[in-house]
Structure 1
Amino acid sequence: MLITFFLDCYGSRGLCFLSTSVVLYSFKSSHCQNATNNKACSAPQFQIIIFYFSLYLVALAQGGHKPCVQAFGADQFDEHDLRESEAKSSFFNWWYFSMNLGTIMALLVLCYIQDNLSWGLGFGIPCIVMCLALITFLLGTRTYRFRVRSDERNPFVRIGRVFLNATRNWRTTQTAISKGEEARGILPYQSSEQFKFLNKALLAPDGSKEYGKVCTVTEIEEAKAVLRLVPIWTTYVFTMVGLQEFFYDQVQNELKSIGLALYLSIFGIGNFSSSFLISVVGKTTSGP
């Protein structure tokens, strides 16, 4: 278990725990085959805790690395090089296609292995694949491009400072905000009308006029853009769950995994179709 913990921390993000929890159950499967009821061969409480802990660990890792891997891959292309700039647009298509292809293979192959062969083998295969992917990733550490932008602050810090300053100035009146915009030389069209309460971040939290403590219009508009995405994020979660459940219920029991695989392949094909249409329209109209 100690080795598994270190592998999860620095290796495959929860898959080692998940594989171990399933393999431990196979040690007692021999005497469970002759059990008359399910309670006689139920898993111990500690094993159940490890199983759910590993699932949450995998989910946490998936949510943490997916937003970063796209930006990391995009940084490997030089925007000033024409050839690399064109290849950069294709990178996202191939990345999204590979992600959906991996999901399709998991639903087609791994689901069959888990149902007909072994759960330990079904979780062990992705664990081994993740370890191999990590090794391949580490082998390329000397060739990747690392860009240090000291002139730019962390976007989370910028957006967080906008909400923090707006919260501290929540009692500020609209008249004071208008005076602050006028003093900063901000024109009315430079700031959107939506989420105007964030414009309070234009004033210093303590009432002083020190420039370093106030937020710029660009930072405030970035925070507003994030707020506009919140409804999309929340509705997208329920939409994806509903669509998967709908297609899952419509497929016959023998074709459940294939039905979900075909459903997920739509996203990959649609991504390439949209890219193809954009390229055709761009060449037809002689535009970018």
Structure 2
Amino acid sequence: MDSDPLLSHALTGVVDYRGCPASRDATGRWTSALFIIGVEIAERFAFYGVSSNLISFLTGPLRESTAAAAAAVNVWSGWASMLPLLGAFLADSYLGRYRTIVIATLLYILGLGSLTLLSSLPSSLLCPTDPVDCTPSPVLVTSFYASLYLMAFAQGGHKPCVQAFGADQFDENDPGECVAKSSFFNWWYMGMSSGVLVAIVVLSYIQDYVSWALGFGIPCTAMVIALVVFLIGTKTYRFYPIKESRTVTCMEKDLDAAEEDNQRLQPKQCASSLGEEIKGLLRLFPTWATCLTYAIVFAQSPTLFTKQGSTLDRRIGFGLEAPPAALQVFSSIAILTSILIYDRVLVPVARKLTKHPSGITMLQRIGAGMTISLVGIVIAAMVEMKRLQIAKDYGLVDQPDATVPMSVWWLVPQYILCGVSDVFTMVGLQEFFYDQVPDALRSLGLALYLSIFGIGSFISGFLVSAIDKASSASGDSWFSNNLNRAHLDYFYWLLAGLSAFGLLLYLHFSLAYVYKKERA
């Protein structure tokens, strides 16, 4: 009897949505990846639709100070980047990536729906005593933050699983699909950045000039559409059955095996495998730790960079004025342009010179981005020094609401360099932490990558709060609500010093790193 042609093309250890062996021809690859990239575009549109302009909401309708709002955004961003560790654990050990994505998307919709409802309440309910000048009700503020953190919790399940699930659609043992997987990380980031760009351009304008309720409601609708798109693609996906990671289950196996005489060797075997997985994770720690300084600088774009832009002349012609958060669009444009140049020009040229399949190694890519980020924060410090000098020259030091006669275009270089550095460092980190972790822990690997930005945001928030308290005790705070009396330039120079120190440590450890495996 002839063998089943579907089984002859079946992938080892991979199943389709029915639990049957997955066919190489009928599942996975770019068909599935495009569904998943579409979901990521919607998720990034929704997340940045809130996060990119969050500081404006906190200092506006919620009446928080600049320092308090910046610290609050940093802490929230930190948790949003740390919670993927929990989401990855649940996905790799219990739920699987597909189910985790569905549950997380439903929580996203709930959180965004709550934000929409709360922001649509009339001023008389937000501030019953004085709708014009008051502190909003503590109950409503608490409800708003609860909705924000529900959204962060949802991202914790969504973020590591969607990218890992997308990469799972390519077979790393097939030479053609292995090359496509490497390209997938570039196009994934390009799609993600497209969602961010649209969110920044469209939603920041709606939130600042039309309605916060509409500005939060559109992302909620986007996540509903994302869920529908993701479910439509179910029949095309490749599913990897949950592998019991020894890191999670070995202790249970040890206890069970100890009770059975015929399994006395199993605890030793399990402990040995557990040790290998832990060792594999610890090898990544120097890279993780030294990239924290990059993450601290990354946290400034949606917070202090935005407040910096709010003081400048934002007229862009045709009677239009750009919302402060919309300046982040230059980072997104830089990302989209740089990915095309990197994938289509730099990689082919570098491949001919280095003979490496990806042109340059993952660690070289990360280091290049860290260097660009250092240059960007130095330029940000110099621009802020000029802004303060112009405010002084025009006698605007004590006029916090006055527009400083300095074009907003001065901020464009720091946003562009921020975007270019992302293409190198963030994409490099994504690929590195997916590729170099033990195979059973790939969702956890991507969660570890995200935790860099979580801890970086926490550190940024701590620095802002500590420096605000220390500097305000001896005069004007570095983060004074009157930015013309503040000293964001001092803070940027501090971050530049930390970045330089982190880069030197990174170079030291990366030169000694030995990759887990070479690509085919």
TM-score by length of 1: 0.65
Q: How big is the shift at 1:19?
A: 0.9
Moved more, 6-15 or 55-64: 6-15
Judge conservation of contact 1:100–1:264 (CA < 8 Å) in 2: yes
Instruction: Give identity over the alignment, percent.
Output: 36
2: CA distance, partners of 1:148 / 1:67: 17
2: CA distance, partners of 1:61 / 1:134: 13
Is residue 265 of structure 1 aligned with residue 333 of structure 2?
A: yes
Judge conservation of contact 1:111–1:257 (CA < 8 Å) in 2: yes
Q: How big is the shift at 1:101?
A: 1.6
How big is each residue's C-alpha offset from its partner over 1:83-104, in whole Å with a ceiling of 9 and x where there is no partner?
Answer: 4333322221121112112112
How big is each residue's C-alpha offset from its partner over 1:167-209, in whole Å with a ceiling of 9 and x where there is no partner?
Answer: xxxxxxxxxxxxxxxxxxxxxxxxxxxxxxxxxxxxxxxxx99
Q: How does 1:267-286 map to 2 (within 5 A)?
A: 267-276=335-344, 277-283=346-352
Name structure 1 gaps, 5 residues minimum.
1-5, 162-207
The residue that corresponds to 1:12 in the other structure is: 109
1:231 maps to which of 289, 312, 332? 289
How big is each residue's C-alpha offset from its partner over 1:70-129, in whole Å with a ceiling of 9 and x where there is no partner?
Answer: 110011123344543333222211211121121121111101101111111110001001
The residue that corresponds to 1:38 in the other structure is: 133
How big is each residue's C-alpha offset from its partner over 1:230-251, in whole Å with a ceiling of 9 and x where there is no partner?
Answer: 3145323312123555643257
Residue 142 of structure 1 aligns to a residue whose secondary structure is helix
1:218 maps to which of 268, 276, 281? 276
Judge conservation of contact 1:8–1:16 (CA < 8 Å) in 2: no
2:178 maps to which of 64, 85, 106? 85
Residue 78 of structure 1 aligns to a residue whose secondary structure is coil
Q: How big is the shift at 1:137?
A: 0.6
Q: 1:61 to 1:103 in 2, by over 3 A?
A: same
**Structure 2 letter corresponding to 1:95:** W
1:64 maps to which of 138, 143, 157? 157
Q: How big is the shift at 1:52?
A: 0.7
Residue 38 of structure 1 aligns to a residue whose secondary structure is coil
Residue 24 of structure 1 aligns to a residue whose secondary structure is coil
Judge conservation of contact 2:108–2:150 (CA < 8 Å) in 1: no
Question: Greater Rg, structure 1 or structure 2?
Answer: 1
Q: How big is the shift at 1:133?
A: 0.6
**Structure 1 letter corresponding to 2:113:** C
TM-score by length of 2: 0.39
2: CA distance, partners of 1:230 / 1:49: 33
Name structure 2 gaps, 5 residues minimum.
1-102, 252-264, 315-321, 358-520
**Structure 2 letter corresponding to 1:157:** V
2: CA distance, partners of 1:220 / 1:10: 32
The residue that corresponds to 1:23 in the other structure is: 120
Q: 1:37 to 1:210 in 2, by over 3 A?
A: closer
**Structure 1 letter corresponding to 2:121:** L
For these two proteins, the number of residue pairs brought into alignment is 230
2:231 maps to which of 124, 131, 138? 138
2: CA distance, partners of 1:52 / 1:157: 32
1: CA distance, partners of 2:172 / 2:288: 30
**Structure 1 letter corresponding to 2:220:** C
The residue that corresponds to 2:210 in the other structure is: 117
Residue 94 of structure 1 aligns to a residue whose secondary structure is helix
Q: 1:62 to 1:273 in 2, by over 3 A?
A: farther
The residue that corresponds to 1:186 in the other structure is: none
Q: How big is the shift at 1:156?
A: 5.1
1:154 maps to which of 245, 248, 258? 245
Question: Quick one: higher RCO (CA 8 Å, sep 6+), 1 or 2?
Answer: 2
Moved more, 217-226 or 68-77: 217-226
Q: 1:55 to 1:253 in 2, by over 3 A?
A: farther
Moved more, 259-268 or 50-59: 259-268
2:168 maps to which of 75, 88, 95? 75
Moved more, 125-134 or 11-20: 11-20
**Structure 1 letter corresponding to 2:233:** G
Q: 1:7 to 1:23 in 2, by over 3 A?
A: farther
**Structure 2 letter corresponding to 1:261:** V
2: CA distance, partners of 1:131 / 1:23: 20
**Structure 2 letter corresponding to 1:281:** A
Residue 76 of structure 1 aligns to a residue whose secondary structure is coil
Q: 1:155 to 1:87 in 2, by over 3 A?
A: farther
How big is each residue's C-alpha offset from its partner over 1:126-153, in whole Å with a ceiling of 9 and x where there is no partner?
Answer: 1001100111111222221102265xx4
Residue 273 of structure 1 aligns to a residue whose secondary structure is helix
Is residue 52 of structure 1 aligned with residue 52 of structure 2?
A: no
